[in-house]
Structure 1
Amino acid sequence: MLDIPSRVRVHVETLLAAQNDMGVCDAFQQYAPVGKPDDMNAPHPPKVAGIDSTVPSPAHTVAPAPAVPGASPVSSPVPSPTPPGALLQDRLAGWVSDLTTLHELTERLVRTDSLSDALQELLRAGTALVGARRGLVVLEPSDGLGPDTTIGLGLARADLGHMETVPRSAMSYGTLLDTDAGLPGGKSEIVQPDLFAEDGLDPRHREVAARLGYAASYALPLSTEAAGRLGAAVWLYDEPAEPVERQRHLVGLYTRYATEHLARLVEVERARACLATMSEELLPSRLPRVSGVQLAVRHRTGPRGGGDWYDALPLPDAALGLAVGSVTGSGPSVVAAMGRLRASLRAYAVMEGEDPVAVLSDLELLLRLTEPARSATALFAYCEPALRKITLAGAGHCPPLLLGERRTEFVETSVSAPLGMLACWEAPGVEVQPQPGETVLLYTDGLLHRTGDSVDRAFARLHAAAAGIPRGLRHDPDTVAEHVLRTVLPDGLDVVDSAEDVVLLAARFE
């Protein structure tokens, strides 16, 4: 009897009906033994997913053949037939195995939380189901809103480039993407079991297939009723081959589920791209050129859209205003609040930028009156490049870092509360006199929080990163900003998805 663990829940009724075009009882009756055995020796089908193991006896039975006197059943030359019950059990075992495989593959798929990871998992699962070794997926939503990408499995970037030189109409994925074949209700698959034996195969396709070493392909559309066509997946065989009916059925079930998951991730990716675009558009499109100062910036936005911002604007009398800040929270509303705060600070800086304390006091009043539920940190510096003089004030913000040939130190600023947290904000300003060739680093606390260290250790890491810059590289603020960012946030922490935004603004005084 088939031993099925209790944790496996199989809907055999649907599976039997789908694959044999018959009901469950019909299947049992077809494979049940002919005749009416006694109650003690009657075979009982195993209980699987709620199926009643009691099988009714057939309406018509055949009387057992009379035994021949003196005949020995052991010496009979006729081999004993395979019990019909064993055949049914073998079929059930195969279906259980298939459903268990689908369950494991879909579990791995739903654990992916990024579009690129989900596409790679789709290709890996498909190669296992259809028996191929390589494949590619072309993501190209039919609504034209993107994202558009091509990802390969077992194919290098150069290999994908070679395949893109083949006319699109000659490729199976091109047929699925450019015609109704890739839409719901259209053609469900394209099988090319032997490319080189096909009449009319595009010469360039033949050349590329021979160069990359694949001889057959199997393609499926990625489409849903709600989202429409998302793309197409193609699996490549090294030798002439094609998936059998069972493999096609399994990969079809898996692909339909995977496409629904991909549709959700596409929407998430679009929302992230929209927030990132909003954030970038609300920040300076380029840094100004001011005599006596060289500027560079690094900005990283989290996937949910954060409120970290920076600004650099020329002011009257050949002065320069530098600002960094952060609005608490994340999401579209925070991005919008960040834009309003930055625009307001620019206006106050033009009117009274030589007094950073007055600028932040006006900003505090505006924030408290217009958005009383929010708080923000900010730092504004009024720079006079001709005099190499900086006057700055901060509201709950991290102190700047001064980097030179003989010193690497934090600028001592007064302790103050963030904007929006006090009924009246005011803190004394600080004057800094950088030497020729020294660089001032302004940054947001996201740079420290992304390290995962405590505040003290994060400040120590930032100081060590700045002090460790080779002296030959300190003349370029862009190199300084890049070195500090990569040293403080190594191993891709500067580009990984995080709830913390990062702003690093470098100003080198000549």
Structure 2
Amino acid sequence: MSAPHLPKVAGIDPTVPPPAHTATPLPGIPAAAPQPGTPLQDRLAGWVSDLTTLHELIGRLARTSTLDGALRELLDAGASLVGARRGMAVIEPADGHGPTATVGLGLAHADLGTIETVPRSATSYGRLLDGLPGGPLPDPRPPSVDSLPLTGSAVDGRAGSHAAAHTADGHGADEAAGAPTGAPGPVAVPDLLGDEHLDPRHREVAARLGFAASYAVPLSTPEAGRLGAVVWLYDEPAEPDGRHRHLVSLYGQYASEHLARLLELERGRSQIAALTEELLPTRLPRVPGARLAARHTAGGSGGGDWYDALPLPEGALGLAVGSVSGTGPGAVAAMGRLRASLRAYAVMEGEDPVAVLSDLELLLRLTEPARTATALFAYAEPARRRIVLAGAGHVPPLVLGERRTEYVETSLSAPLGMLACWEAPSVDLDVEPGETVLLYTDGLLRRMGGSVDRAFTRLHAAASSVPKADRDDPEAVVDHVLRLVLGGPDDAGDGGEDGAGGGGGHEGGRVARDADEDVVILAARFD
């Protein structure tokens, strides 16, 4: 009966015995012949190890959701692949539509600025950003008579010291990266301080910051073209070998695709944010007896939070905040239509906030039956310091003054679009001289995270802690409140014992801490 075969592990045959010795044999004694297949197994084991490393690094990169986070992960992973300690990544799309960004690894902001003082064409990453081919960096000195007949990197004596990176089998790095000949490819400068052909400013900055070599690779995709470049810096003269160049080339290809997707998302977010700002008031009205301040922070997904303030007949003032369900361009467009409609209703019947919201609910139900919205409208008479307000599923306003900081008790009501006929009683509010009324959207509470009660408590504590010197300025009040409630979990001084943090979902009366939520806050101070 034949003996059972032992299992294979990671591509290595366990039946092949290990070498009889690892030390050099004595003179005169012939060395034992290597076992057949051992070099191939070693290569297979190396390939498996490389694939495992790439899989792990790519997985970490895929989990990044922001451009800045992806660049930092790219720098860190690439540094481990090429054996460097510091680096710099620059995003500069070739189409010129932005966004642009510069991120450093192990480099302070001042260090990045110092590197950028080097002439762009004299740096490896600058040549890649400008679309110049990889290879020897240009000699800043004028050519001598003896060097004029010598053309091409094949006869340039400098080509061996700072030529484009080559793979282990002798092929150019452009070929390893899948780029056509002549296209921008990796650029290795193995000895920055000792290469007299480099730009003097380049060597001066390298000596000042303490790096002696660099290795730069382009970031590009066939569809998007050039996105940017990344360069890693060595503390001593060095350059990665062919194997590690090949690994960082493969990793760079995936990183470029991932960055291209994030770049498109970032552009979309910027466009939505710009559209949202255009739909909101460009400036707040000036009404005798009241001073206004507003802040709006657009979320990453483009929400439908909005605010408005408009002068009404007989010295009155209309104040409104609201939020439309959904995200993206559709929600932003719905927000613009809803805000424009509310302005029209406020001019016609602003003294009756219930009628304004009732008309708004009917319009929403007829024109956009699939959407819901929350809204709060306040009719203020600054001369009498009197406010009549009504809310549709909206969070209550907060009154801040020398003698009180309290929420306004409003009647419970469903959001607009959720009932066949919406109507809720209005609330009368008398404010004292010097008091400020804060209107806001629930996005502010969601940004805080934790339970709903805790979020309300933190907002109350932040409003209560406004310094007396700042209470006369609504701008200072708004900035103080936002700085505290959107900071760390304990910045507002809330010493609650529920221990609610920034995680948590919607269950159990909790809201999720979500940076994608819009934040709107509108403050009105009455003299």
- Asked if residue 473 in structure 1 is aligned to residue 490 in structure 2, the reply is no
* 1:369 matched residue in structure 2: 366
* 1:126 matched residue in structure 2: 78
One of 311, 316, 336 as aligned partner of 1:314:
311
* 2:520 matched residue in structure 1: 503
- Partner deviation per Cα, 1:371-390 (whole Å, 9 max, x = no partner): 12222111111222222222
Counterparts in 2 of 1:389 and 1:76: CA distance versus 1, 3 Å: same
* 1:17 matched residue in structure 2: none
- CA displacement at 1:229 relative to structure 2: 0.8
> Does the 8 A contact of 2:85 with 2:232 survive in 1?
yes
SS of residue matched to 1:309: strand
Amino acid at match of 1:507: A
> Does the 8 A contact of 1:356 with 1:429 survive in 2?
yes
* 1:267 matched residue in structure 2: 264
Scaled by the length of structure 2, what TM-score is found?
0.79
- CA displacement at 1:199 relative to structure 2: 4.0
C-alpha separation in 2, matches of 1:170 and 1:291: 61
- Asked if residue 151 in structure 1 is aligned to residue 103 in structure 2, the reply is yes
Counterparts in 2 of 1:497 and 1:234: CA distance versus 1, 3 Å: farther
> Does the 8 A contact of 1:388 with 1:433 survive in 2?
yes
One of 169, 172, 181 as aligned partner of 2:133:
181
- Asked if residue 448 in structure 1 is aligned to residue 445 in structure 2, the reply is yes
Amino acid at match of 1:504: I
One of 204, 208, 212 as aligned partner of 2:209:
212
- Partner deviation per Cα, 1:161-190 (whole Å, 9 max, x = no partner): 111111111111111111253895313211
Counterparts in 2 of 1:315 and 1:204: CA distance versus 1, 3 Å: farther
SS of residue matched to 2:325: strand
* 1:414 matched residue in structure 2: 411
* 1:90 matched residue in structure 2: 42
- CA displacement at 1:272 relative to structure 2: 1.7
* 2:190 matched residue in structure 1: 193
- CA displacement at 1:262 relative to structure 2: 1.3
SS of residue matched to 1:337: helix
Cα RMSD, aligned residues only: 2.9
* 1:165 matched residue in structure 2: 117
- Partner deviation per Cα, 1:269-322 (whole Å, 9 max, x = no partner): 222222222222211123233332222223232221111110112223332211
One of 423, 431, 436 as aligned partner of 1:434:
431
> Does the 8 A contact of 1:324 with 1:380 survive in 2?
yes
C-alpha separation in 2, matches of 1:272 and 1:321: 30
SS of residue matched to 1:303: coil
Counterparts in 2 of 1:480 and 1:83: CA distance versus 1, 3 Å: same
C-alpha separation in 2, matches of 1:473 and 1:350: 33
> Does the 8 A contact of 2:221 with 2:256 survive in 1?
yes
> Does the 8 A contact of 2:438 with 2:523 survive in 1?
yes
Summarize the alignment of residues 218-297 of structure 1 with structure 2, pairs less than 5 Å apart. 218-297=215-294
Which blocks of at least 5 consecutive residues in structure 1 are unaligned?
1-39, 55-73
Amino acid at match of 2:280: L
* 1:393 matched residue in structure 2: 390
- Asked if residue 378 in structure 1 is aligned to residue 375 in structure 2, the reply is yes
C-alpha separation in 1, matches of 2:516 and 2:87: 34
> Where in structure 1 do 4 or more consecutive aligned residues deviate above 4 Å?
43-49, 51-54
Amino acid at match of 2:337: R
C-alpha separation in 2, matches of 1:503 and 1:509: 20
* 2:66 matched residue in structure 1: 114
SS of residue matched to 1:196: coil
SS of residue matched to 2:214: strand
- CA displacement at 1:53 relative to structure 2: 12
Amino acid at match of 1:362: D
Amino acid at match of 1:107: G
- CA displacement at 1:86 relative to structure 2: 2.9
- Partner deviation per Cα, 1:343-385 (whole Å, 9 max, x = no partner): 1111222222222222222212211221122221111112222
Amino acid at match of 2:205: V
- CA displacement at 1:155 relative to structure 2: 0.7
Greater mean alpha carbon deviation, residues 81-90 or residues 407-416: 81-90
- Partner deviation per Cα, 1:26-55 (whole Å, 9 max, x = no partner): xxxxxxxxxxxxxx99x9996866x9999x
C-alpha separation in 2, matches of 1:390 and 1:118: 49
C-alpha separation in 1, matches of 2:214 and 2:250: 19
- CA displacement at 1:233 relative to structure 2: 0.7
- CA displacement at 1:264 relative to structure 2: 1.4
C-alpha separation in 2, matches of 1:419 and 1:46: 66
SS of residue matched to 2:133: helix
Amino acid at match of 1:498: A
C-alpha separation in 2, matches of 1:479 and 1:277: 25
- Partner deviation per Cα, 1:179-211 (whole Å, 9 max, x = no partner): 253895313211111123334422222221121
> Does the 8 A contact of 2:125 with 2:216 survive in 1?
yes
Amino acid at match of 2:473: D
Summarize the alignment of residues 5-24 of structure 1 with structure 2, pairs less than 5 Å apart. none
- Asked if residue 350 in structure 1 is aligned to residue 367 in structure 2, the reply is no
Scaled by the length of structure 1, what TM-score is found?
0.81
C-alpha separation in 1, matches of 2:92 and 2:388: 52
- CA displacement at 1:76 relative to structure 2: 7.1
Amino acid at match of 2:342: L
C-alpha separation in 1, matches of 2:413 and 2:8: 74
> Does the 8 A contact of 1:45 with 1:85 survive in 2?
no
Amino acid at match of 1:484: V
* 1:59 matched residue in structure 2: none
Amino acid at match of 2:113: G
- Asked if residue 403 in structure 1 is aligned to residue 400 in structure 2, the reply is yes
> Does the 8 A contact of 2:446 with 2:514 survive in 1?
no
How many residue pairs get aligned? The number is 450
C-alpha separation in 1, matches of 2:425 and 2:7: 86
SS of residue matched to 2:314: coil
SS of residue matched to 1:181: coil
SS of residue matched to 2:233: strand
> Does the 8 A contact of 2:312 with 2:347 survive in 1?
yes
- CA displacement at 1:323 relative to structure 2: 0.4
C-alpha separation in 2, matches of 1:153 and 1:456: 41
Which blocks of at least 5 consecutive residues in structure 2 are unaligned?
16-25, 135-173, 490-501, 503-510
- CA displacement at 1:397 relative to structure 2: 1.5
C-alpha separation in 2, matches of 1:202 and 1:119: 28
